[in-house]
Amino acid sequence: MSGIEVAGLLLGALPILFAAVDLSKDGIQRGIISFRKRHFVEKLALALLLQQRTLAETVRSLLIGSGYEDVSGLHDDPVGYLSDKSVKNQLLDYLGPENTAAFTGALRQSDDIVKSKARNITGLVPAFRDPTDNLLAIVKSNQEVNGGWLDLIPRVKLVFRATELKTAIRDLDDTTTTLDRFARIILAAKLAKALRQVRGFANDLYLAIFQGWRAGCQDNHEARLFLEDRVDDATDILKHVRRDNSTPVFFFQLIFAASIYQGQAFRPSESPHITLVVPGSTSVRSEVTFVDDICAAIEAASCRKRQFAFVLTGNQQLGSIPRDERTVIPYHRADRIALKSLLCDDKSRHHSTLLPLRLRMLLALRLASNLLQLLQTQWLQSTWSKDMIFFLLRLTGDVNNTSRDHLHIDFGRPFVSLTFDDSNASALPQPNVDPKVALLELGILLLEIWHTWTLETQFSLKEALVEYYERLPLASK
């Protein structure tokens, strides 16, 4: 029996054992000794319930991560569902050999413990006079009726001693902790893998945009990349990459800006401006028109009133595909404000109304996620700092009045910016940032966002310290 099948057997048997133990506590006679036994029986029932719920959520998350959207069969018939060959193969493919071996080991440990507890309960299988550890027989002879197992009450009996109850509780708690830890490790590893996949696309995006600018049309060009969380999209990203799906993997949203006499810039609507296409997706690739001049493509679309979306192809080149909705909108007087300008430089002043707690928490989550997405790419050339994170300033009220009193800060869409001009005539090499420095600077930035004032303000520094071992002690205080 494979480890996946063991999981199905446990998910079928654990609710029955929980019901047997939980229902038995009411039959314990009152008294000091009996009270202590009843207390341990209640703890044993809770340990069984926690093991069942932890295992169910672990298997459910693995199934969803592997590509299954409907996992209702796991609840209805866990034994049959996890015995299905296609389900087993997909889970094995998702986990990989090493994780499968670790998961199987944890499941067999849980299986041994649950069987040992079943041997201390008589009457679980009516056909057997003595206790049995045959979990499959226990499952088959105790089909759930009307949401419960009321017929268990007259026939089950616990034969635990007090010391055995304590041992049973401890063993179950240990295996529950192991299963929970395994689930967290797997999900964290898969999330990191998905975000690293995004990082590869982000690097390709920089190279494609770099090749799409042409000298002489404007004084300089700018690409503003909005920071997306993508944590909820991690499963879909891995699924598309594995299956070579013909639909886009995910979106990058950008603003393309250029310095010209009218100060004109281009910004996307709510629809994405750049769409990633999985390499080898022939159905999408057949519609792609390759773009060798971004400005000319935008100008042509504006003049002809055609809507299109940029796509990133597998060979680090931009293309375009037709779209029905508006994706390219000319916008004048584009403006921005840096995060540094929103943090206090004086402790006596509070910006909590400007940066409320909810917005600060959402911003912190995005920055943590984007460290994995953008580190070692040109979009994050050094480390996170308050000087390189920007928000859009949008006009409100009278559009002809450009005073700051009529500008709204779009906190929901932080972005980073790259400028392309004559000073970077060739593509910049991939940055090499020390991970420990990147983590320290992320931690400092998160603290600054939480407190709404800068590290320099906190310690009354006239100049910002730059060395790692100068900043580390301050961040730790």
Q: Is residue 88 part of a domain?
A: yes
Six-digit token string for 245: 């799906």
- For the stretch 178-193, pLDDT in tens is 999 998 888 888 888 8
Mean pLDDT of 43-67: 90
Least confident of 33-42, 207-216, 427-436: 33-42
The residue among 402, 412, 471 whose CA lies nearest residue 436 is: 471
Q: Specify whether the backbone of 29 is left (phi greater than 0), alpha (psi in -120 to 50) or beta.
A: beta
Mean pLDDT of 133-140: 88
Can you list the alpha helix ranges (DSSP code H) found in 293-351?
294-304
SS3 211: helix
Mean pLDDT of 334-357: 74
- For the stretch 229-268, pLDDT in tens is 888 777 777 766 555 555 566 788 888 887 664 444 444 4
pLDDT of residue 386: 92
Cβ–Cβ under 8 Å, residues 390 and 414: yes
Say if residue 274's pLDDT is above 60. Answer: no
Cα separations in angstroms, 284 against 119, 212, 241, 311: 60, 20, 15, 10
Looking at the DSSP assignment, which residues form a beta bridge with residue 311?
275, 319
* Separation of first and last alpha carbons in the chain: 54
Element spanning 112, H or E = helix 85-118
Count the domains in the chain. 1
Element spanning 473, H or E = helix 468-476
pLDDT of residue 31: 42
The residue among 16, 24, 19, 17 whose CA lies nearest residue 154 is: 24
Beta strand segments in 137-241, E: 157-158, 221-226
pLDDT of residue 6: 93
Q: Is residue 139 part of a domain?
A: yes
Six-digit token string for 465: 């310290």
- Triad 276, 278, 283: Cα angle to 5°: 105
When pLDDT is cut at 50, 70 and 90, the band that residue 424 belongs to is low
Beta strands at 157-158 and 221-226: parallel, antiparallel or unpaired: unpaired
Residue listed under structure tokens 């679980």: 124
Q: Is residue 33 part of a domain?
A: yes
Looking at the DSSP assignment, which residues form a beta bridge with residue 338?
390
Say if residue 325's pLDDT is above 90. Answer: no
**How far apart (Å, rounded) are the C-alpha atoms in residues 115 and 138?**
11
Cβ–Cβ under 8 Å, residues 7 and 55: yes
Going across the sheet that includes 390-395, the strands are 329-332, 264-267, 254-258, 221-226, 407-420, 390-395, 335-338
Parent domain of 35 = 3-160
Q: Is residue 144 part of a domain?
A: yes
Q: Is residue 39 part of a domain?
A: yes
Mean pLDDT of 385-408: 71
Q: Is residue 216 part of a domain?
A: no
Cβ–Cβ under 8 Å, residues 218 and 296: no
Please compute, for residue 469, the number of CA atoms within 13 A of its CA located in the half-sphere on the CB side: 0
- For the stretch 5-39, pLDDT in tens is 999 999 999 988 888 888 776 655 544 445 567 78
Q: Is residue 65 part of a domain?
A: yes
Cβ–Cβ under 8 Å, residues 246 and 283: yes
CB neighbours (10 Å) of residue 360?
19
- Residue 341 has what DSSP assignment? G
DSSP string across 229-270: --STTHHHHHHHHHHT-SS---EE-EEEEE--TT-EEEE--S
Count helices and strands in the chain by DSSP H and E runs: 14, 14
Going across the sheet that includes 251-252, the strands are 251-252, 274-276, 308-312, 318-322, 289-290
Q: Which residues of 70-102 are buried (b: 16+ CB within 10 A; e: fewer)?
A: ebeebeebbbebbbeeebbebbbebbeeebbeb
**How far apart (Å, rounded) are the C-alpha atoms in residues 19 and 139?**
12
Q: Is residue 170 part of a domain?
A: no
Q: Which residues have C-beta within 8 Å of that of residue 81, sequence separation ≥ 6?
A: 8, 73, 74, 87
- Triad 284, 289, 291: Cα angle to 5°: 125
